[in-house]
Structures are given as C-alpha cells and as structure tokens.
Amino acid sequence: MVAALAGVSRSTVSRVVNASPRVTPGAISAVTAAIETLGYVPNQAARSLASRKTYTIAVIIPENTAKFFSDPYFASVIHGVATHLGNTEYTLTLLIASEAHPEKTRRYLQGGSVDGALILSHHADDSSYLQLSSTLPVVFGGRPMSNTRPADAGPVPRNHIVDVDNVAASTTATRYLLEHGRRRIATIAGPQNMAAGFDRLVGWRAAIAETAQNPDLVAFGDFTPPGGESAMRELLARGESFDGIFIASSQMAFGALRVLREHGISVPGDVAITTVDNDYFAQNSTPPLTCIEQPVAELGVEIAQTLVRLINGESVAELSVMPTRLIERESV
C-alpha cells in the first residue's frame, strides 16, 4: 500500500492524510507522491469504523418524490443546505425513503452511515422519525407534525426545529385582503397532515375570526397546481361568492388561476388573491401574485448549521423561527 511505497509507517500515512501538524515536510511529500502514483483513496468504511465519523449528512425525502421535487421550496432549501455544507467537511446525501421497506432506511440511518439527518416537510404519518433523534442528531426543517397532538406512543424526544411562523404568515396574508376592502375571504388550504398546511389554515381562521364572516369557505389541495385547480373548482361549485382568497401555496394558486380564468372571473377585479412562496409561479402567473416570501435559502443554511453544531456536541436552541415578509404584486 501507500506506506510501503513511501517508506513510512501506516501511522504516518494516516497523519498525512488527516493533515496532522506533526509530520516532517519530507515525509509529507513522500506520502503525497505515493498517494498520487497509486491513485489511493482512503476507504471510508474502514475510516468510519475506526473513527466513528462518516462526515456525511442525509436529507430524508419521502418516496413520493414527484411532489417533493416539483416544489421549488425544497429545491431552494436544499440548495441552502448544500451551500452551507459545501464549506464544511460534510458531504450531503439525499436519502429516498422507501416506504415499503422502512427497515432499509432505518439501517442506513442507525447503522452509522451518516453523522446526522435532516427531515424536511414531515408528515403526521411517518411518526417513526420523531424518535430518530434519540439515536442520531436530527434537525427538522419545518415543525414535525405530531407536536400538535398528544404523543401517542411514549415520550417524544425533544427535536431541534428550524421553521417559519406559518400561522402569523397566513394571518398577515389574509388580513391584507381584508385591509384592501375584501369582505368574503375564502381559502385553499394545504394537506392537514403537514405543519405548513395545518398552520396556514389556522392562521387564516385567526384572521377570519376577527370578522363577521362564517369561516366555512375552505377547500383543500395538496400544494400542487392540479390540487389548486380542483380545490378552486370545488369552491366555485358550492355557489357561495367570495371576493378574496388566501391560497396556501403559489403552486396551488397557479392551478386555481387557470380555473378562475376559465370561468371568466377576473383577478384582482372579482377576486383578490394572496398566497405563500415567492417562486416562479408567484412571479410569473397572470397577474403576478401578492405573496408571503419565506427565506428559503437562509432556512437551508440555518438548518445545516444547526445540525453541524448538534453533531459537534455544541448546545443549540431547540427552535429557530425565521422571518417572513409580504410582497405586494398585482393580485390584490
């Protein structure tokens, strides 16, 4: 191996590879030369077996990849994560969790293949991840879902969370409609088994509660354009009129807009819209949408930073809430 060619011991090779300060320049150059000619790459398995470190971090993503991938939100957050991790010694890996074979994911995570895990967009359904942090450093991007509800099986370990205040954000977006003279405000809410869906409906309700309106103008979508379409169709089919609507994601808003256009309903003339996520859809629909912007990239950075600190054993705040801001466009 390398040690023989360089004429030194394995210990010295290890020191050179790990940039230990106490090595003679001569030894360093001999070893690097040997590494070069041999095309040597240290075996990660052996290394992590001995050192109990892998320097890789996993982002766990649900198997139903289509939804995950198509949402610019995740792309941006992951970009933020990757950016931060790029400056560290950690490698980022996205782990596709096969729902049919959860033990594969478990083996990977608990078998020491990674130093820590990131969970974005947690569903109420996969409660397994709530326990993960007792085995492994874990950070949730967005509050995990069961925290709203009583723990069903044993105590849930304290989880580290980086989130935005979805309730406040949607209250703001809904009030904005009211402040601009709209009186009957509907909403298209997201999936109720995800915090972003749940909390944004809570926020809408909070704003509506301050008015005399009957809070029943709700339809549900799955955060995708087709989901927004069918939710809007459902809302229109009910025959109740509304002059403003808060839509829980710009992708749904995009789908909903198509339906409004079909029905000859003008925006913002007949119906004003506010939504969440300042992405391509919000910026480029007709008209461009007034929306709540989340600091997506910063969110990613913060999540990554939190996890790395956790791995290093530093003490980190359990909850970090990032600010949002409202961007005014032509849809109101």
Give me the phi and psi of 78, to 5 degrees please: -65, -35
Residue among 141, 197, 221, 225 that touches a second copy (CB under 8 A): 225
Residue 36 or 99: the one with the smaller Cβ distance to DNA is: 36
155 binds, among a second copy, DNA, none (CB under 5 to 8 A by kind): none
Residue 81 or 332: the one with the smaller Cβ distance to a second copy is: 81
32 binds, among a second copy, DNA, none (CB under 5 to 8 A by kind): none
Shortest distance in whole angstroms from residue 44 CB to a second copy: 4
Q: How far is CA 52 from CA 47, 114, 115, 165, 311, in A?
A: 8, 10, 9, 37, 12
Shortest distance in whole angstroms from residue 57 CB to DNA: 18
Angle 166-179/195-209 helices, nearest 10 degrees?
A: 40
- The answer to the question of residue 10 lying near DNA (CB under 7 A) is yes
The interface with a second copy within residues 263-322 (CB under 8 A) comprises 280, 284, 286
- The answer to the question of residue 135 lying near DNA (CB under 7 A) is no
Q: How far is CA 207 from CA 135, 272, 275, in A?
A: 40, 16, 14
Burial class (CB within 10 angstroms; exposed 0-12, middle 13-18, buried 19+) of 32: middle
21 binds, among a second copy, DNA, none (CB under 5 to 8 A by kind): DNA
The interface with a second copy within residues 161-200 (CB under 8 A) comprises none
Residue among 4, 33, 38, 49 that touches DNA (CB under 7 A): 49
Strand 116-120 relative to strand 56-62: parallel, antiparallel, unpaired?
Answer: parallel
- The answer to the question of residue 106 lying near DNA (CB under 7 A) is no
Contact 94, 85 (CB under 8 A): no
- The answer to the question of residue 43 lying near a second copy (CB under 8 A) is yes
Contact 173, 292 (CB under 8 A): yes
- The answer to the question of residue 237 lying near DNA (CB under 7 A) is no
- The answer to the question of residue 311 lying near DNA (CB under 7 A) is no
Residue 202 CB neighbours (<10 A): 15
Task: Give residues with Cβ within 8 angstroms of 323, minimum separation 6.
Answer: 164, 295
Distance CA(299)–CA(237), nearest Å, equals 38
SS3 62: strand
150 binds, among a second copy, DNA, none (CB under 5 to 8 A by kind): none
Distance CA(77)–CA(84), nearest Å, equals 11
Shortest distance in whole angstroms from residue 108 CB to a second copy: 5
Per-residue binding letters, 65-104, with a second copy (x by CB under 8 A): xx-xxx-x-xxx-xx--x--xx--x-xxxxxx-x-xx--x
Distance CA(244)–CA(183), nearest Å, equals 7
Shortest distance in whole angstroms from residue 310 CB to a second copy: 20
Eight-class DSSP state of 144: -
Residue among 49, 151, 317, 319 that touches a second copy (CB under 8 A): 49
192 binds, among a second copy, DNA, none (CB under 5 to 8 A by kind): none
Strand 290-293 relative to strand 325-327: parallel, antiparallel, unpaired?
Answer: antiparallel
The interface with DNA within residues 18-37 (CB under 7 A) comprises 18, 21-24, 26-27
74 binds, among DNA, a second copy, none (CB under 5 to 8 A by kind): a second copy
Residue 39 or 269: the one with the smaller Cβ distance to a second copy is: 39
Q: What angle do CA 216, 222, 228 make, to 5 degrees?
A: 70
- The answer to the question of residue 56 lying near a second copy (CB under 8 A) is yes
Interface residues toward DNA, by CB under 7 A: 1, 7-15, 17-18, 21-24, 26-27, 40, 42-43, 46-47, 49-51
